[in-house]
Structure 1
Amino acid sequence: MGHREHREHREHTERTGRTGRSGQAGHVHVVGGGLAGLTAAITAAESGARVTLHEGHRNLGGRARTADGPYRTNEGPHAVYQRGPFGTWLARRDLLGPVVAVPPREGLRFRFRRAGALRTLPPAALLRLSRRDPRTAPVDGAFREWATGQVGEDGARAAANFAATALFHHDPGALSARFVQERLRRLTALPPEARYPVGGWARLVERMAAHARGLGVLVETAARVDTATLGELARTGPVVVATSLGAARALLDDASLTWESGRTVLVDLAVRTRRGDAFVVSDLDAPGWLERFTAQDPSLAPAGEQLLQGQFAIGPDARRAEGVARAEALLDLGFPGWRERTTWRVEALADGRTGAVDRPGTTWRDRPSVVRGDGVFLAGDQVAAPGLLSEVSFTSGREAAELAVRAAGRRSTSGVDLNQS
């Protein structure tokens, strides 16, 4: 298939959600039922492949999981970004479902911690820097040095810590200037890009899973795949490994599957409602963020209560208590009396589970390749694919599926294994 034909084929699939070639593209296996795996399964099925999705847990979703019970917390802050490819793809298939944006009145309750005090406005230098085209930021240089040259040291520090919302990294200023600036630009876009699926991300996962089954995908849960099982699957068709990078490294016995990620403390709590509480408190003194998610979706907590979720990046040798202490200091500023009002609280440490970060001299292209050889393809949030947060899982899942379908088609028509791409 030439470039033009491939483009026309993709455009047709985007419009219709199917190719009309059911059963003609062979068998594709997908290991992992998170966002990357579900995207891969749907993409392969829409291209006419027979697809089996193998998920080791009893429930689908991976890290896109929402807790049961009265407090509908996601595993860390989650949002779909309006201008990104994932939201567009979901909307075209009627999978996005009801989403909510930040209510305008809540935008007035955005607060910033600067020099230890709570403020209503960010520094002007941060706003000036956020308007810079990311293409002007060097790939090879650190964000801290580049941004200091643009707006001064204080503005650079504030911008780096604000961008940490999408980085989950304890030292965002040390990362590639291009990488950080791309995220800063999208985080400060007006109107805000973030959209929140009503009821939490579990609802989105349910819609994606139902759509996959409707396309004929065989979904097997509580079906763990080990190295031996993977070899058996690969004999019947290409395999998309859509797991965490650590799990893929063990499964494929490939020591090269490494990339830096963040290490962050997640703090979730419910408090009784009080007038005047902040909507968001962004820590510009250190990487940290608190958000009142019930401001946009009251269904996430019982009536009269507010659900707060926050993340506080810590260094590789730091203890969880350090992140918790920073969270409590931010709560003291933005949510007075929160201790007496707390009705529920959970803390967790997310280590290497928050997506890839790029050091100076690297871009997403330098991360582990989607193509692993021998009919195996890789997808996930630390793989060589562009995008912001979950968009990396989506983009890599889609690319891996397209390549797997192509390989399965060659196998089906030739009768020999040509999956060495």
Structure 2
Amino acid sequence: MSRTAALGRSYPESRPADVTAAPGTTEGGPVPMHRITVIGGGLAGLAAAVTAAEAGAEVTVHEAHHTLGGRARTADAPYRTNEGPHALYDGGPHWAWLRRRDLIGPLAPLRPLEAARLRLRHRGKLRRTPPRAMLGLLFRGASQAPVDTDFLTWATGVAGEEGARAAAHYAAVALFHHDPGALSAAFVQERLRRATKLPPEAHYPRGGWAGVVDRMAARAWDLGVRIETLSRVDTLPAGGPVIVATSLEAARRLLGDDSLTWPSGRTVLVDLAVRTRRGDAFAVSDLDAPGWIERFSAADPTLAPAGEQLIQGQIPIAPHESRADGSARAGELLDLGFPGWRERATWRRDAVASGRTGAVDPPGTTWRDRPAVDRGDGVYLAGDQVAAPGVLSEVSFTSALTAVSLALGRPSLDPAR
């Protein structure tokens, strides 16, 4: 069962698509350009469905759950937690894709006073600014990191070991991995720069990601996409290209392809509500170990009841560590940034997420080495662990558009080109 409550939304039977191929007709009228089946109704599946329908394809989406959204689901009130992505990065392709279609919706602005309450844990204490040794790794003028070397080794040569470790741990906000320093230097550097860019790239959809998902679903409906929820697919359907927009693990089972593997992170997800108190931090990012916690209701008070604050965090854990280990480290950050939180707590939920935080690239690999989008025989992959560029959920969007362009034979739809 999902750790978030069901969205509780229903989607009507779709109307016939009103965009058809120009060439070819039958006695019954125009012939659709293509019939495409999309398995999975998360961000990747909805992006693929909308893009394909806009190009004139007849599209059916199969979603195993009774609600759409995948890891972009948002729980119902009173605590509107997100299971997956928490922010939209405006420097990525999915921002432009959503904005062109007016699907982003209202954003929750973060007041400068709240943003100023970002805190960093370093050497066991809170501080407002990163250590000087770390700063050299954040500037745009820093040299391009190599693909074949791990981040810690490369960054130590640039900023010393202390600065390198602090930067690696800070990058966990966009990596969700227990040992960011062991990953490809180029991979970590890109995410570190995106996470520390000024002005910030991160924006928060008001009310969580549910609104974005609903607008994507409505766009698909308007284009004539047929959306079938509670429709689990155990064998590939015949009759047209199929885009498998599920987790890599689910795609591996469905396609019977053991090569569909790639490293990902393992985290403890912490959801916590506390009674409001002046002076609480906006976020605490750990420079002593990977992990962070953030008061998401600071930007969007609708996420929690009046008089309460919603805090969410992700604490990466190693394969041998337990949920209790991650929860204990979260408690250390909470003690520093939210004094008296235990007495103020009104609700809490912790859970372990394995392989659900996107791909991470070991030294010597890039996104091009991940499982290919094109699986042959008219089958294509989309999701956040496949061979497509981008950061976090951007990979899902980029791979979805790539899958559609390949399925339709339309290279111009391929953002990688």
**Alignment map for 1:295-334 (pairs within 5 Å):** 295-334=298-337
Aligned to 1:374: 377
CA 1:77/1:290 → structure 2, altered by over 3 Å: closer, same or farther? Answer: farther
Aligned to 1:289: 292
In the TM superposition, residue 25 of structure 1 has moved relative to its aligned partner by: 2.0
Match for 2:233: what amino acid? Answer: V
Contact 1:76 / 1:310 at 8 angstroms: preserved in 2? no
Aligned to 1:29: 37
CA distance in 1, matches of 2:256, 2:366: 25
What number of residue pairs does the alignment pair up? 385
Contact 2:77 / 2:304 at 8 angstroms: preserved in 1? no
> Which is further off, 132-141 or 190-199?
132-141
Contact 2:136 / 2:142 at 8 angstroms: preserved in 1? no
Contact 1:366 / 1:384 at 8 angstroms: preserved in 2? yes
Secondary structure class of the residue paired with 1:96:
coil
Aligned to 2:92: 84
Secondary structure class of the residue paired with 2:267:
strand
Secondary structure class of the residue paired with 1:277:
coil
**Alignment map for 1:98-109 (pairs within 5 Å):** 98-109=106-117
Aligned to 1:357: 360
**Alignment map for 1:2-401 (pairs within 5 Å):** 21=21, 24-76=32-84, 78-132=86-140, 136-227=144-235, 230=236, 233=237, 235-401=238-404
> Which is further off, 235-244 or 123-132?
123-132
CA distance in 1, matches of 2:220, 2:261: 30
Structure 1 ranges of 4+ moved more than 6 A: none
CA 1:21/1:128 → structure 2, altered by over 3 Å: closer, same or farther? Answer: farther
Q: Which has the higher helix share?
A: 1
CA 1:367/1:218 → structure 2, altered by over 3 Å: closer, same or farther? Answer: same
CA distance in 1, matches of 2:276, 2:397: 36
Aligned to 1:3: none
CA distance in 2, matches of 1:284, 1:20: 54
CA 1:305/1:249 → structure 2, altered by over 3 Å: closer, same or farther? Answer: same
Aligned to 2:26: none
In the TM superposition, residue 401 of structure 1 has moved relative to its aligned partner by: 1.3
CA 1:273/1:109 → structure 2, altered by over 3 Å: closer, same or farther? Answer: same
In the TM superposition, residue 127 of structure 1 has moved relative to its aligned partner by: 2.2
CA distance in 2, matches of 1:45, 1:133: 43
Secondary structure class of the residue paired with 2:353:
strand
Match for 1:156: what amino acid? Answer: A
Contact 1:34 / 1:242 at 8 angstroms: preserved in 2? yes
Contact 1:77 / 1:309 at 8 angstroms: preserved in 2? no
Contact 1:134 / 1:185 at 8 angstroms: preserved in 2? no
CA distance in 2, matches of 1:110, 1:321: 26
In the TM superposition, residue 19 of structure 1 has moved relative to its aligned partner by: 7.9
Secondary structure class of the residue paired with 2:285:
strand
In the TM superposition, residue 20 of structure 1 has moved relative to its aligned partner by: 7.6
Taking every aligned residue pair, what percent have the same amino acid on both sides?
A: 68
CA distance in 2, matches of 1:76, 1:162: 19
Contact 1:76 / 1:266 at 8 angstroms: preserved in 2? no
- Identify unmatched segments of 5+ residues in structure 1: 1-17, 408-421
List per-residue Cα deviations over 1:250-283 (Å, max 9, x = no partner): 0000010000000000001010000000001000
CA distance in 1, matches of 2:304, 2:322: 29
CA distance in 2, matches of 1:102, 1:186: 18
Secondary structure class of the residue paired with 2:72:
coil
What TM-score do the two structures reach when normalised by structure 1?
0.89
What TM-score do the two structures reach when normalised by structure 2?
0.90
CA distance in 2, matches of 1:133, 1:203: 38
Secondary structure class of the residue paired with 1:130:
coil
Contact 2:19 / 2:57 at 8 angstroms: preserved in 1? no
Aligned to 1:11: none
Secondary structure class of the residue paired with 1:118:
strand
Secondary structure class of the residue paired with 2:292:
strand
In the TM superposition, residue 405 of structure 1 has moved relative to its aligned partner by: 2.1
> Alpha carbon RMSD of aligned pairs, Å?
1.5
CA 1:134/1:240 → structure 2, altered by over 3 Å: closer, same or farther? Answer: farther
CA 1:136/1:35 → structure 2, altered by over 3 Å: closer, same or farther? Answer: same
In the TM superposition, residue 135 of structure 1 has moved relative to its aligned partner by: 6.7
CA distance in 2, matches of 1:385, 1:108: 35
- Identify unmatched segments of 5+ residues in structure 2: 1-17, 23-30, 411-417
